[in-house]
Amino acid sequence: MSAYQTEEEQVEALKRWWKENGTSVIAGLVIGLGGVFGWQAWGNYEDRIGKDASESFNQMLSAVQRGETESSSKQAELLRLEYDSSNYAVFAALTQARLKLEQGDGAAARSQLEWAIAQTDEPSLKALAQLNLARVLLSEGDLDGAAKHADRDTGGFAGEFAMLRGDIAAERSDKQAAHDAYTQAMTLEVSNRNLLQMKLDDLALANP
């Protein structure tokens, strides 16, 4: 299974975060390069760090779009070192986590996500990083590690976390727990309801 959400899910997740926090939108479009994602800044949003962080962030995204992995990594590191109090740095870490995962470097991906979790004080942004970290751990077979980051029942990502708990339970062959988690997710907002329904249907077929 994919450790991350689909591109459309990432778009909706980021839009939801900015809407909940009442901030002008920075994240709108997820760019796809063979599964590699990033966020294309739009609008006139400036965080407390200002235009320098925004410019560095945009340079990183441009490098991602051009497939210049080394350059994008350098820009992300610059953001982490010089603008670590900026949300741009957190978004950069999330982007680099995906790049590292696509390169098969799970350890580096986890490091980026763990940094993002520790760095941000925004509950929803922290939840997004935790959700992605849990998915990485799940994809690596670390069910206990994934479960530690999956116990969230409130906030804008509650449905995604419920779905994640269902995935963990399914991997543990706990079909009842998986069914309960997926059913809970169906009552909440999720980005891919069709996929969730397919998972429920698969459980029903496995338990005639």
Q: What is the pLDDT of residues 157-189, one digit of tens each?
A: 899 999 999 999 999 999 999 999 999 999 998
Q: What is the pLDDT of residues 115-142, one digit of tens each?
A: 999 998 888 788 888 988 998 999 899 9
Instruction: Specify the DSSP element, H or E, that contains 75.
Output: helix 69-82
Has residue 149 got a pLDDT over 90?
A: yes
Sign of CA dihedral 100, 47, 78, 123: negative
The residue type of 70 is E
Q: Which of helix, strand or coil describes residue 172?
A: coil
- Over the stretch 60-104, which tens digit does the pLDDT of each residue have? 878 877 888 788 888 888 888 887 777 888 888 888 888 888 888
Closest CA to 142 of 114, 110, 113: 110
| Alpha-carbon span 136 to 159, nearest angstrom | 18
- Of 36, 43, 127, 46, the closest CA to residue 88 belongs to 46
Whether domain 1-122+132-142 has CATH 1.25.40: the reply is yes
Query: For residue 111, is pLDDT > 70?
Result: yes
Q: Over 60: is that where the pLDDT of 57 sits? A: yes
Residue ranges covered by each domain of the chain: 1-122+132-142, 150-208
Q: What is the mean pLDDT of the chain?
A: 75
Compute the average pLDDT of residues 190-194.
88
User: Under 8 Å CB-to-CB from 44, ≥6 apart: which residues?
Assistant: 24
**Does the pLDDT value for residue 3 go beyond 60?**
no
Average pLDDT for 4-27: 45
* Predicted model pTM: 0.71
Query: 108: part of which helix (H) or strand (E)?
Result: helix 106-119
